[in-house]
C-alpha cells in the first residue's frame, strides 16, 4: 500500500522506507488508550535531550576549554554574546529539568511495572541512558572551571583510587597529570560533546525496544485488541505537545526568573587549586548517590555502594516477583513504593549537608533502606502479596470508569421498571 | 458506543466541526511561532558578539612620521589597511589619461568607496590614500610597488601588484583591465582629526556611508 | 494511578522539593561552625519578576566602587562600554569615554615595550594589581574580583550588604586570631581580612544624596548586582513575553487535545 501519491515520496520510500516507517509509527502503531499524564515524561525527556544538544552546540561555538580561559569564556557568553545568557541558562537549568523528567519517568516505570516482561531490555537501556546522563552532567559541570567544577572533579576522580592495585594509575590516567588540570578539562570537553550523541543512539534503541511490544499502561494489562488502543497520531502527538507546553511554562519561569535557583554560588568563583571550598557538593541530581557514597565509612565499599545503587536498577525486572505489573492492583506495594520516593528525597537532603551529627545516622538509614527496598522488599512483597483482580481488558476498564460496560448495562436493564 | 475506536485504524477521525480544526490549526501555528522564536536566539548568537563589535571600533593613526612615497599598514576589523603618503609626481601621473585609459573603472562608478572618496584620488586629501589591502579577486594582500617600470615592464606607472594571480592597481587603488580582479580596491570610511591624524572606520561628520554596502571587500 | 492519589503525591513532592530548596537561601549552609545572625532584609528595586535597576543608585554605586573599592578590588569582566546606555548605567558614549580616559591600562608600544596608556571604552576595567599574586603580596590576601561577587555568595545582595554594614567591635570573650583581621557579624567565622571600607560620608555623592553607611552600602550593592547580572532587565522582559506566549499556547493545545480525544472513551 503506497504511503502517498507523491512520486518523489514513493521514489525515496522504495529505496529507504522512511515514509512507510513514519506512517506506521504514527498512524498504525497502537498505543493503549488509557495512558495517564505520567506517560508524558518519556517524550519530555526526548524534548529535553534535543534542547540540551541544540544549546550545547551553540555554547561550544563560544566556549574555550583551556583552563586559563574557560571561566572567562563562559562569562563572556553571558555578557557579550547575543542571547548568550539565555542559551547558557537554558543549558544549565535544562540539565536539572532533564533529570527531573527522567527521574519521574523512572519512578513511573517502577510504579506501573513497566520493566516487567517483555520490557526488561527496554528498562535496562533506560538505566544505561541514566548512567550516560550522569557521566555527561558530571563532566559538563566541570567545564565552567569554577571552584565546585574543579573540586567536584577532584573528589569524584579520586574515587577510582579506591580500586585495589590499579586505582592510582587509573586516576593519573583520568587526570592526564598529577592533579585535575588543563588536560583533564580538555578531555572532559571532548567527552561531554560526544556522550549526548551516544545517549541519542541508546534512546533510539530504547524507542525501538518500546515499539516491539508497545507501551505499558496504568492497569498493567496487555492490549487485547483494537478496542484497547488508539493510533499514536493524533491522540498522543497532541497530548504530548500539550504536556510539553505545560512543562515549558515551568521551565521558562525558572530560566527567566530564577536562573540560579539550583546553582551553587561557589561555582561563580574561578577555580583555585590552592583553596578548598567549605563544602564540596555535586549538583542536586547526584546528591542521593553522593549520600550513599559518604554513608559507608570505607572508601572502597563506599564506591561499590555508589555504583551498586545504580547497578541494582539493572536487575529490577528480576528482583520483582509480582505476577501483576501495575501497583494499582498491588495493595501492599503501592504504599511501599512511596517509601522509596521519600527515601530518595531524604538521601538527597543528606547529600547536601556536611556528614556530621544526625545527618550521618539518617544517611546510613537511608542507604540501608534503599538497598533493602530492592533486594528484600521487592521480591518478598511479590511473593506474599495478594493482588486485586485484574479487569478483563483495557476497554472494559475504561467503560466501567464511565459507568458503561456489559455488567453495568445488565444492572441498569434489571433496574428499569 | 464501545467500538468507537474501530474507526481510527487508518488515522481517519470523525469530523467534529470547524472548532476542532481551528484549535488544531491554531495550536500548530503557535508551535511553529514558538519553534521559530526558540531557534532565533541560537542563530543570532553566532553573529559578532558585543566585544567583537567593540574591537571593530575606529582606530586613530598618527601620520607625522609617514614620509612621502611611503606606505604604512594598520589593522582595522581584522583587515589590512594601507595608508599611503603620495608624492606630487605620483598625483600628477594619476590624472594622466594615458594611464587612466588602461583602467577598468577609472571614475570609480562601482560602489567600492564612500561618496567623499569618489574622485580621481579616491580620498579626502589627495596627499593621503587609505585603502583596504585585500585584492578584489580572491583576497590576497597586494604588494606596494610605487616605482614605475622595473620588473612589471616599462609601461608600469606604479601602484599595487598582487602576487597571487597578477592583478594590478594604480596608486589610487583603481584596477587595471586585463587582470583577474574585477573591482577597485575598497576605501574604508575615514576622516582626518587634524593634519597628522587619520581616524579609520568613521565617516566625516555630516556624512553617512555604510561600509557593508560596497560591492566586494 | 488513581486520580485521587495524584494530588497528594504531587503535593508531597512539591513540599519536599521546596523544603530542600528553601535551605540554601539561608547562610547556615555555608557557615555550619559559626552561627551568624539572619542577613539584614533590605528592599531592592531589582527584586521580583518586574524589578529593574534604579539608575541613580547604579551611578552612585559606581562612584563608590571607583573611589573606594577599586583601590583593592578588580572587576575584570566589565568593560567601560558596559556602563553606557539604558541597559547600563545610563551614561552617554561621551561620558563613558571620559570615565575610561581617567584610568591607565597596560599595553605594549610599537617596539614591544610594556607601557601604560589611558583606557578606551572597549577596555576592561583597570585593575589595581596586575594579578592575584601581586595583590596578595601587597595586601596580605588577594581581594576577590567583584564582577560576579553577588552570584558567588549565598544570600547574594543581602550578604554583601550585611558584610558592608556588619563591622563591629569584637565582643567580649571572642578571641581574635593572632594573624589579625576584623570582626564582622555576617562573615562566616566572624573574622574578615578586609578592614571596614565604608562609613558615613566616605564619599560625597555627585547627585547630592546623603551618604549614610546604609545608603552607600545599598547603592554599591545595587551596582554590584548589576555588574553580576547586566542582562537582568532584558531577561525579565523576555521572560514575561515567553511565559505569556506559553500560557496562551498551552490553552490552545489543551483545547486541541480535548477535541482530538472527544471521540474516544478514555
Chain A residue with the nearest C-alpha to that of C243: A249
Please give the average per-residue pLDDT across C66-77, as a whole number.
Answer: 96
ipTM exceeding cut-off 0.95 for this assembly: no
Residue A248 contacts by C-beta under 8 Å, 6 or more apart in sequence? Answer: C246
Q: How many angstroms away from the CA of B58 is the closest CA of chain A?
A: 19
| Chain A partners within 8 Å of B27 (Cβ) | 238, 241
Predicted pLDDT at C11? 56
**DSSP 8-state assignment for residue C188:** T
Active site residue ranges of B:
165
Residue found under cell 455488567? A407
Q: State CA C14 to chain mean position distance.
A: 29
Predicted pLDDT at A403? 72
Predicted pLDDT at A416? 53
- What is the tens place of the pLDDT at every residue in A189-222? 999 999 999 999 999 999 999 999 999 999 999 9
Of the partner residues A265, A279, A354, the one whose CB lies closest to the CB of residue C153? A265
pTM: 0.88
Determine the straight-line distance between the first and last CA of chain B, rounded to whole angstroms.
Answer: 73
- Label the pairing between strands B159-161 and B168-170: antiparallel
Question: Is residue B16 less than 8 Å (CB to CB) from chain C?
Answer: yes
| Chain C partners within 8 Å of B16 (Cβ) | 259, 262-263
> Binning pLDDT at 50, 70 and 90, where does residue C14 land?
low
Which among A55, A133, A134 is positioned nearest to A88, based on CA atoms? A55
Predicted pLDDT at C110? 78
Question: CA–CA separation, C149 vs C147, rounded Å?
Answer: 6
- What is the tens place of the pLDDT at every residue in C174-225? 889 988 899 999 999 999 999 999 999 999 998 899 999 999 999 999 999 9
C-alpha cell at A234: 493524533
Listed range (A408-417, B15-24, B103-112, C18-27) with the worst mean pLDDT: C18-27
Listed range (B18-22, B50-54, B130-134) with the worst mean pLDDT: B18-22
Q: Under a CB-based contact definition with an 8 Å cutoff, are residues C218 and A231 in contact? A: no
Give CA angle at A265 (A263, A267), nearest 5°: 85
Cα–Cα distances in Å, from A415 out to A402, A410, B2? Answer: 18, 9, 21
Predicted pLDDT at B217? 85
Q: Considering chain C, what is the average pLDDT of its residues?
A: 88
Predicted pLDDT at B167? 95
Res. C31: pLDDT tops 50: no
C-alpha cell at A355: 556528614
Q: How many angstroms away from the CA of A170 is the closest CA of chain C?
A: 33
Predicted pLDDT at B18? 66
C213-228 and C55-67 helices, crossing angle to 10°: 100
Nearest 5°: phi and psi at A305?
-65, -40
C-alpha cell at B10: 487508518
Listed as ranges, residues in chain A with pLDDT below 50 are none
Q: Considering chain B, what is the average pLDDT of its residues?
A: 88
Burial of A85: CB neighbours in 10 Å, binned 0-12, 13-18, 19+: buried
Q: Is C152 close to A72, i.e. CB distance below 8 A? A: no
Q: Is C253 close to B30, i.e. CB distance below 8 A? A: yes
Predicted pLDDT at A4? 78
Chain C residue with the nearest C-alpha to that of B55: C122
Residue A132 contacts by C-beta under 8 Å, 6 or more apart in sequence? Answer: A195, A198, A199, A202
Which among B213, B132, B115 is positioned nearest to B173, based on CA atoms? B132
Question: CA–CA separation, A213 vs A117, rounded Å?
Answer: 10
> Binning pLDDT at 50, 70 and 90, where does residue B94 land?
confident
Predicted pLDDT at C3? 52
- What is the tens place of the pLDDT at every residue in A46-90? 999 999 999 999 999 999 999 999 999 999 999 999 999 999 999
Of the partner residues A61, A87, A231, the one whose CB lies closest to the CB of residue B11? A231
Res. C28: pLDDT tops 50: no
Which among B107, B118, B112 is positioned nearest to B132, based on CA atoms? B112
Q: Is B27 close to C259, i.e. CB distance below 8 A? A: no
Q: Under a CB-based contact definition with an 8 Å cutoff, are residues A321 and A117 in contact? A: no
Of the partner residues B3, B27, B44, the one whose CB lies closest to the CB of residue A83? B44
Predicted pLDDT at A406? 54
Give CA angle at B135 (B133, B136), nearest 5°: 125
Question: CA–CA separation, A341 vs C1, rounded Å?
Answer: 15
Nearest 5°: phi and psi at C153?
-130, 130
Q: Choose from C31, C260, C264 for mutation: most chain A CBs within 10 A.
A: C260
Predicted pLDDT at A26? 85
Which among A416, A328, A339 is positioned nearest to A376, based on CA atoms? A339
> Binning pLDDT at 50, 70 and 90, where does residue C4 land?
low
Please give the average per-residue pLDDT across B27-43, as a whole number.
Answer: 93
Q: Chain A 271-310, CB below 8 Å of chain C: which residues?
A: 278-279, 284
Predicted pLDDT at B5? 41
Amino acid at each position: 500500500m503506497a504511503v502517498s501519491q507523491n512520486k518523489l515520496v514513493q521514489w525515496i520510500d522504495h529505496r529507504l522506507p522512511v515514509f512507510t516507517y513514519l506512517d506506521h509509527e504514527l498512524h498504525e502503531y497502537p498505543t493503549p488508550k488509557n495512558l495517564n499524564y505520567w506517560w508524558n515524561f518519556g517524550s519530555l525527556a526526548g524534548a529535553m535531550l534535543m534542547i540540551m544538544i541544540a544549546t550545547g552546540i551553540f555554547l561550544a561555538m563560544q566556549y574555550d576549554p583551556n583552563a586559563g580561559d574557560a571561566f572567562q569564556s563562559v562569562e563572556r557568553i553571558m555578557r557579550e554574546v547575543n542571547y548568550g545568557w539565555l542559551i547558557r541558562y537554558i543549558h544549565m537549568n535544562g540539565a536539572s529539568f532533564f533529570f527531573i523528567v527522567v527521574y519521574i519517568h523512572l519512578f513511573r516505570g517502577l510504579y506501573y511495572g513497566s520493566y516487567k516482561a517483555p520490557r526488561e531490555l527496554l528498562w535496562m537501556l533506560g538505566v544505561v541512558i541514566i548512567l550516560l546522563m550522569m557521566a555527561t552532567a558530571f563532566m559538563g559541570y566541570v567545564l565552567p572551571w569554577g571552584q565546585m567544577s574543579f573540586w567536584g572533579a577532584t573528589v569524584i576522580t579520586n574515587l577510582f583510587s579506591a580500586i585495589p592495585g590499579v586505582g592510582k594509575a587509573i586516576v593519573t590516567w583520568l587526570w592526564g597529570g598529577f592533579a585535575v588540570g588543563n588536560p583533564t578539562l580538555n578531555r572532559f570537553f571532548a567527552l561531554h560533546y560526544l556522550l549526548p550523541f551516544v545517549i541519542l543512539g541508546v534512546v533510539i534503541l530504547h524507542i525501538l525496544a518500546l515499539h516491539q511490544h508497545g507501551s505499558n499502561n496504568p492497569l498493567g494489562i496487555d492490549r487485547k485488541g483494537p478496542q484497547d488502543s488508539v493510533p499514536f497520531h493524533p491522540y498522543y502527538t497532541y497530548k504530548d505537545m500539550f504536556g510539553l507546553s505545560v512543562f515549558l511554562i515551568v521551565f521558562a519561569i525558572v530560566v527567566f526568573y530564577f536562573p540560579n535557583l539550583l546553582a551553587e554560588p561557589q561555582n561563580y568563583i574561578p577555580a583555585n587549586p590552592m583553596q578548598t571550598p567549605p563544602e564540596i557538593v555535586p549538583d542536586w541530581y547526584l546528591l542521593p548517590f553522593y549520600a550513599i557514597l559518604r554513608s559507608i565509612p570505607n572508601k572502597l565499599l563506599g564506591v561499590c555502594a555508589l555504583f551498586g545503587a545504580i547497578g541494582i536498577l539493572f536487575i529490577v525486572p528480576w528482583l520483582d516477583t509480582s505476577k501483576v505489573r501495575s501497583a494499582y492492583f498491588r495493595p501492599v506495594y503501592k504504599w511501599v513504593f512511596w517509601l522509596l520516593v521519600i527515601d530518595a528525597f531524604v538521601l538527597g537532603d543528606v547529600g547536601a549537608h556536611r556528614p556530621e551529627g544526625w545527618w550521618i545516622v539518617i544517611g546510613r538509614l537511608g542507604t540501608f533502606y534503599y538497598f533493602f527496598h530492592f533486594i528484600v522488599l521487592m521480591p518478598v512483597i511479590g511473593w506474599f502479596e495478594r493482588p486485586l483482580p485484574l479487569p478483563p481488558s483495557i476497554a472494559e476498564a475504561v467503560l466501567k470508569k464511565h459507568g458503561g460496560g456489559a455488567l453495568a448495562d445488565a444492572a441498569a436493564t434489571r433496574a428499569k421498571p | 458506543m464501545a467500538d468507537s475506536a474501530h474507526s481510527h485504524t487508518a488515522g481517519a477521525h470523525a469530523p467534529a466541526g470547524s472548532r476542532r480544526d481551528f484549535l488544531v490549526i491554531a495550536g500548530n501555528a503557535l508551535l511553529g511561532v514558538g519553534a521559530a522564536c526558540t531557534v532565533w536566539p541560537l542563530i543570532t548568537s553566532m553573529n559578532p558578539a558585543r566585544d567583537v563589535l567593540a574591537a571593530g571600533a575606529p582606530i586613530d593613526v598618527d601620520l607625522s612620521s609617514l614620509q612621502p612615497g611611503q606606505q604604512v599598514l594598520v589593522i582595522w576589523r581584522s583587515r589590512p589597511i594601507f595608508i599611503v603618503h603620495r608624492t606630487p609626481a605620483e598625483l600628477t601621473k594619476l590624472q594622466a589619461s594615458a594611464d587612466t585609459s588602461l583602467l577598468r573603472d577609472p571614475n570609480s562608478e562601482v560602489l567600492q568607496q564612500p561618496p567623499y572618496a569618489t574622485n580621481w584620488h579616491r580620498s579626502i586629501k589627495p596627499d593621503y590614500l587609505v585603502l583596504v589591502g585585500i585584492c578584489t579577486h580572491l583576497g590576497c594582500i597586494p604588494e606596494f610597488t610605487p616605482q614605475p617600470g622595473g620588473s612589471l615592464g616599462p609601461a608600469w606607472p606604479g601602484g599595487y601588484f598582487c602576487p597571487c594571480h597578477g592583478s594590478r592597481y594604480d596608486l589610487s587603488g583603481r584596477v587595471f583591465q586585463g587582470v583577474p580582479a574585477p573591482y577597485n580596491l575598497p576605501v574604508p570610511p575615514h576622516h582626518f582629526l587634524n593634519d597628522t591624524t587619520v581616524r579609520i572606520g568613521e565617516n566625516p561628520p555630516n556624512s553617512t556611508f555604510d561600509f557593508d554596502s560596497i560591492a566586494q571587500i | 494511578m488513581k486520580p485521587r492519589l495524584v494530588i497528594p503525591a504531587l503535593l508531597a513532592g512539591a513540599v519536599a522539593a521546596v523544603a530542600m530548596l528553601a535551605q540554601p537561601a539561608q547562610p547556615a549552609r555555608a557557615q555550619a561552625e559559626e552561627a551568624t545572625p539572619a542577613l539584614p532584609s533590605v528592599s531592592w528595586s531589582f527584586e521580583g519578576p518586574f524589578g529593574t535597576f534604579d539608575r541613580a543608585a547604579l551611578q552612585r554605586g559606581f562612584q563608590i566602587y571607583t573611589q573606594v573599592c577599586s583601590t583593592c578590588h578588580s572587576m575584570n569582566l566589565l568593560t567601560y562600554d558596559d556602563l553606557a546606555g539604558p541597559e547600563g548605567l545610563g551614561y552617554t558614549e561621551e561620558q563613558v569615554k571620559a570615565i575610561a580616559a581617567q584610568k591607565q591600562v597596560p599595553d605594549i608600544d610599537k617596539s614591544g615595550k610594556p607601557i601604560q596608556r589611558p583606557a578606551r571604552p572597549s577596555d576592561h576595567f583597570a585593575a589595581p594589581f596586575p594579578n592575584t599574586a601581586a595583590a596578595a603580596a601587597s595586601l596580605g590576601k588577594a581581594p576577590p574580583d567583584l564582577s560576579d561577587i553577588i552570584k558567588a555568595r549565598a544570600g547574594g545582595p543581602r550578604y554583601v550588604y550585611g558584610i558592608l554594614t556588619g563591622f563591629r567591635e569584637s565582643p567580649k570573650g571572642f578571641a581574635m586570631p593572632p594573624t589579625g583581621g576584623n570582626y564582622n557579624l555576617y562573615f562566616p567565622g566572624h573574622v574578615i581580612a578586609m578592614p571596614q571600607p565604608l562609613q558615613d560620608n566616605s564619599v560625597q555623592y555627585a547627585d547630592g544624596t546623603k551618604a549614610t553607611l546604609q545608603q552607600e552600602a545599598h547603592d554599591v550593592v545595587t551596582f554590584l548586582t548589576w555588574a553580576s547580572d547586566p542582562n537582568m532587565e532584558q531577561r525579565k522582559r523576555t521572560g514575561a513575553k515567553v511565559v505569556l506566549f506559553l500560557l496562551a499556547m498551552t490553552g490552545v493545545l489543551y483545547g486541541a487535545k480535548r477535541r482530538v480525544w472527544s471521540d474516544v472513551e478514555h
